[in-house]
Amino acid sequence: MLRFSLLFYFCLLLIVLLGSAIIFAILKAFGVVANVEQLFASLEIKVKISGGAIFKWLFLVGVLGTIVWTAVSVFAAFLYNLIADVVGGIEVSVSEKD
């Protein structure tokens, strides 16, 4: 469960990073990022939106989320196995129609 969870959540992290990169590139190409920077400049707030900083923090939060959700998944599997030992688990029977 640990290996599966780590691989699953890491792949999810990569998908989110790729999607964010595509969205950021589209927004930058259409000039949305520059307009947001100009809006803050007109409010006399100095803001520089850089993709590197955004993706660095997104990656760090994603790695932390991967670790946390892997631990939650492993703990949930552990609890399920404990409860299944006590109550007998779930039995599924498959029968053919006559």
For residue 84, what pLDDT band results from cuts at 50, 70 and 90?
confident
Query: Alpha carbon 59 to chain centroid distance?
Result: 10
Residue 9 burial (C-beta neighbours within 10 Å; 0-12, 13-18, 19+): buried
CB 22 within 8 A of CB 16: no
Taking only the tens place, the pLDDT of each residue in 34-65 is 999 999 889 988 888 888 899 999 999 999 99
Cα separation, 66 vs 12, in Å, equals: 9
Sign of the CA dihedral running 20, 22, 26, 29: positive
Predicted TM-score (pTM) above 0.85: no
* Distance (Å, whole) CA 75 – CA 87: 18
What are the sequence ranges of the domains in the chain? 2-83
Query: What pLDDT shows up at residue 88?
Result: 79
Phi, psi of 31 (to 5 degrees): 85, 10
